Amino acid sequence: MRYITTNDSPAPALRGIADHSWQSRGLCHGMDPADADELFFHTPRDHEAIAEAKRTCATCPVKRDCFNYALDNQIRHGIWGGLTAKDRQPWLAKLSKRLDYSRVRAALQGRDVHLSTSERSTFIHHANLRGWSPERVAYLLSADLDWIRDLMREAGYVVEDRDRYWDLDEESDTTDGGEHPQDDSEVPTPSEPRQLQTHALIASLGKAA
């Protein structure tokens, strides 16, 4: 699959949902289909096959890719990424709430990653902070433009509310109509300026994504 992006960032290690090239690097690649089915798509309670399959997956270089593939496609049978169908049930149940910043970062860099609801919300907020247009975001997420406009508008409101919150003390100082104390010792100083807190928040978000 071709790597498509609109910036000069290096390609992330995480691959898109349509990219199956990782499968050729799996330890199970090239295995006889009958043996693979018996090993990874075991019969119920076949503990010996399960243990052997997990030993194979434990040292596989594409274990995580295999696991993400099973989650993204909601595969409910067989062993993928070293986990049985039962092991994956808690992950599948919380799939819409999964928040993996490496996936968000890969999507921001142009990969066709199928984001969860939480990951998509994080993507929208970062795109808004970067000043991206709704058209660009809609293209990257393969989503409806009007829907993306609504989400980005809501993300903008969140930033405005945050800035308004940190401005409350300053507004109250200038609008109360009273005289301000001349002695610097009487002026209450916050532990950290609002601007520093805002910049630190944006910086932390940038590192997280």
Per-residue model confidence (pLDDT) at position 189 = 44
Q: What is the pLDDT of residues 125-152, one digit of tens each?
A: 989 888 999 999 988 888 889 989 999 9
C-alpha pair distances (Å), 200 with each of 17, 194, 203, 204, 207: 33, 10, 5, 6, 11
Q: Single out the residue in 93, 126, 152 at which a domain terminates.
A: 93
Per-residue model confidence (pLDDT) at position 187 = 40
* Rg (the chain; Cα; Å): 24
C-alpha pair distances (Å), 158 with each of 23, 79, 133, 165: 41, 41, 17, 11
User: Helix H segments across 133-193?
Assistant: 134-141, 145-166, 168-175
> Residue 16 domain-assigned?
no
Q: Are residues 84 and 38 in the same domain?
A: yes
The annotation status of 118 as a binding-site residue, yes or no, is no
Q: Are residues 68 and 164 in the same domain?
A: no
* pLDDT, mean over the chain: 76
Q: Are residues 75 and 109 in the same domain?
A: no
Q: Are residues 81 and 105 in the same domain?
A: no
Q: Rounded to the nearest 5 degrees, what angle is found at the Cα of 53, between the Cα atoms of 49 and 56?
A: 145
Q: Are residues 204 and 107 in the same domain?
A: yes
Q: Are residues 128 and 89 in the same domain?
A: no
Q: Per-residue pLDDT averaged across 171-187, rounded? A: 46
Domains of the chain: total: 2
Nearest alpha-carbon partner for 72 in 37, 25, 107 = 107
Per-residue model confidence (pLDDT) at position 72 = 81
Per-residue model confidence (pLDDT) at position 103 = 83
The annotation status of 97 as a binding-site residue, yes or no, is no
pLDDT confidence band for 62 (50 / 70 / 90): very high
Per-residue model confidence (pLDDT) at position 59 = 92
Please give the backbone phi and psi of residue 80, each rounded to the nearest 5 degrees, phi first: -135, 130
Amino acid at 198: T
The annotation status of 57 as a binding-site residue, yes or no, is yes
> Residue 152 domain-assigned?
yes
Q: Are residues 111 and 62 in the same domain?
A: no
> Residue 14 domain-assigned?
no
Per-residue model confidence (pLDDT) at position 58 = 92
Per-residue model confidence (pLDDT) at position 209 = 53
Q: Single out the residue in 76, 93, 110 at which a domain terminates.
A: 93
Look at residue 99 and tell me whether its pLDDT is greater than 60.
yes
Please give the backbone phi and psi of residue 83, each rounded to the nearest 5 degrees, phi first: -120, 135
> Residue 7 domain-assigned?
no
Name the DSSP letter for residue 13: S
> Residue 1 domain-assigned?
no
Q: Single out the residue in 65, 93, 121 at which a domain terminates.
A: 93
Look at residue 10 and tell me whether its pLDDT is greater than 80.
no
Q: Are residues 47 and 67 in the same domain?
A: yes
Q: Are residues 199 and 126 in the same domain?
A: yes
Residue 196's domain spans which residues? 101-175+192-208
The annotation status of 66 as a binding-site residue, yes or no, is yes
Per-residue model confidence (pLDDT) at position 164 = 73
Give percent of the chain with pLDDT exceeding 90: 15
Give the predicted TM-score (pTM) of the model: 0.49
